[in-house]
Structure 1
Amino acid sequence: MMTNLFSTFDPSTNIMNLSLNWLSTFLGFMLVPMSFWFIPSRYNIIWFNILITLHKEFKTLLGPLNHKGSTFIFISLFSYILFNNFLGLFPYIYTSSSHLAMTLSLALPLWLSFMVFGWINNTQHMFAHLVPQGTPPVLMPFMVCIETISNMIRPGTLAVRLAANMIAGHLLLTLLGNTGPMLSFSLTLFLILTQILLLTLEFAVSIIQSYVFAILSTLYSSEVI
């Protein structure tokens, strides 16, 4: 009984010949965020520099009337879309950012909140945006219609742009990959090289599309302040 009681403290205890006694110690190191270490890793330094650059750029776009901390929502949005796009590059992983159900659920509430905030707090400013400066009186009704329509389709264009760009690259990779078994050895090598180049392009597209989504959301929000 005493042996069984103290066997949990035995360093040689194993499960299926795998020594798992020290696993909890390493899990502790894994769970502690890297930002709590005195000397951050190179990856952390790179990521912090990216976030600081984005913060400065979004702050410039929002202008002097932006609220404190308003850039954090756009940085979080950029990071969320970026990680989802990157995960979609791995085989057999569902690419959520290539579906309108996902992209519309990001774009529509964001745009709607901007519109509600703008029309409640800055009604006169929102009306002024419907007629560009210097428009002749004859064209004013048409400009109001055009500006209203362009404003209404903004969440749709945001959502479709992200989804379409993610679908296009993945679809091309899949279609080219399906032709592999029917090709000769030399053409298969060429196909693999093409796939690697397309994957690199998709890597760049993942970054660009998340950046475009965040930048356009920032520009739309700056119009309602």
Structure 2
Amino acid sequence: MMANLFSSFDPSTNIFSLNWLSSTLLILAMSPMYWLVPSRWNMMWASLLGTMHSELKILVKSDNFKGTTLIFTGLFTSIMLNNFLGLFPYIFTSSSHMSFTLTLSLPLWLSFMMYGWVMNTTHMFAHLVPQGAPSALLPFLVIIETISNIIRPGTLAIRLTANMIAGHLLLTLMGNAGTSLTIPLLSVLVIAQTLLLMLESAVSLIQAYVFSVLTTLYSSETN
């Protein structure tokens, strides 16, 4: 019996924590890239990375920083694989914990802010005041913009964590109710869980895309 609804997301290894090893499986996805003859998996992976590169290149808006999209493409890949791995049974969902998501968002946001305020100070000050705003509202707008900039890493982390927890929690609750159902209702439950699992697969991809796109937009504001 679970102590609370979120206990299914707690690390449960007795000797020492092996849960976070699932995040290192990204290395296994990289090894086929070194094959002489590309496989279909390798071609699909290259097509996905190329699509993400073309999408993020539009958001960067600067040709002075070559290879910038590689950072955000790698971020997308890492989050997507961790989200998908969490859908398999008995695999720890790293992206449902703030210690994982905040570790991704906070260092990137800090680096963007440090670069922007050191290299483009005038631009960063101008960004605090929307163009065409009334003079009477300028002090309040500066405070609001400052607060919105400060909470950005938190909102990135909470958005990803909450979306991962919500679907996994619903799947857990539906699975726990299956032991007390009759055969007809159990069939309906299996179909509902299958459809929800398909939805969660789409959410895993979308949340990784949203995280990487928002991070790219935050970086483009400092240039």
Aligned residues: 196
TM-score normalised by length of structure 2: 0.85
Residue of structure 1 in register with 2:107 after alignment: 109
**1:78-119 per-position Cα deviation (integer Å, ceiling 9, x unaligned):** 011011111101111110100111111111111011000100
Aligned Cα RMSD in Å?
1.6
Q: SS of the counterpart of 2:87?
A: coil
**Separation (CA, whole Å) in 2 of partners of 1:115 and 1:98:** 26
Instruction: Report the Cα distance in structure 1 between the residues aligned to 2:121 and 2:49, rounded to whole angstroms.
Output: 33
The residue identity in structure 2 corresponding to 1:220 is Y
Matched with 1:179 is 177
Moved over 2 A (4+): 30-39
| 1:64, distance to aligned residue in structure 2 (A) | 2.7
Q: Which amino acid aligns with 2:157?
A: A
- The whole-number CA distance in structure 1 between the counterparts of 2:210 and 2:29 is 32
Q: What residue number does 1:119 align with?
A: 117
**Which stretch of structure 1 is more off in the superposition, 64-73 or 169-178?**
64-73
CA distance in 1, matches of 2:29, 2:129: 54
Q: TM-score under structure 1 normalisation?
A: 0.84
Measure the CA separation in 2 of the matches of 1:140 and 1:119: 20
Cα distance in structure 2, aligned partners of 1:75 and 1:31 = 14
Inter-CA distance 133–83: structure 2 relative to 1 (3 Å threshold): same
Distance 1:216 1:149, change over 3 A: same
- Structure 2 Cα separation of the partners of residues 37 and 155 of structure 1: 38
Give the counterpart of 1:222 among 200, 220, 223.
Answer: 220
Alpha-carbon distance, 1:207 to partner:
0.3
The aligned residue for residue 131 of structure 1 is: 129
1:179 aligns to what SS in structure 2? helix
Q: Give CA-to-partner distance per residue, 1:151-194, whole Å, 9 cap, x none.
A: 11100100000000000000000000001010000000000000
* Structure 2 unaligned spans of 5+: 1-27
Q: How big is each residue's C-alpha offset from its partner over 1:60-84, in whole Å with a ceiling of 9 and x where there is no partner?
A: 1010345001111100100110111
Q: Please tell me whether Structure 1 or Structure 2 has the larger radius of gyration of its CA atoms.
A: 1
Q: Tell me if 1:84 matches 2:100.
A: no
Asked if the contact 1:107/1:159 (under 8 Å) is kept, the reply is yes
Corresponding position of 1:44: 42
Distance 1:138 1:32 in 2: 55
Describe the shift of the 1:31–1:71 C-alpha distance in structure 2 as closer, same or farther (beyond 3 A). Answer: closer
Note the C-alpha offset of 1:40: 1.2
Q: Summarize deviations over 1:34-72 as a string: whole Å, max 9, x none.
A: 334443111111111111111111111010345001111
CA contact (8 A) 1:87 1:95 kept: yes
CA distance in 1, matches of 2:104, 2:127: 24
Cα gap change, 1:98/1:66 in structure 2, threshold over 3 Å: closer, same or farther? farther
In structure 1, the residue matched to 2:164 is 166
Aligned to 1:199, which of 176, 197, 200? Answer: 197
Q: Extract unaligned runs of 5+ from structure 1.
A: 1-29
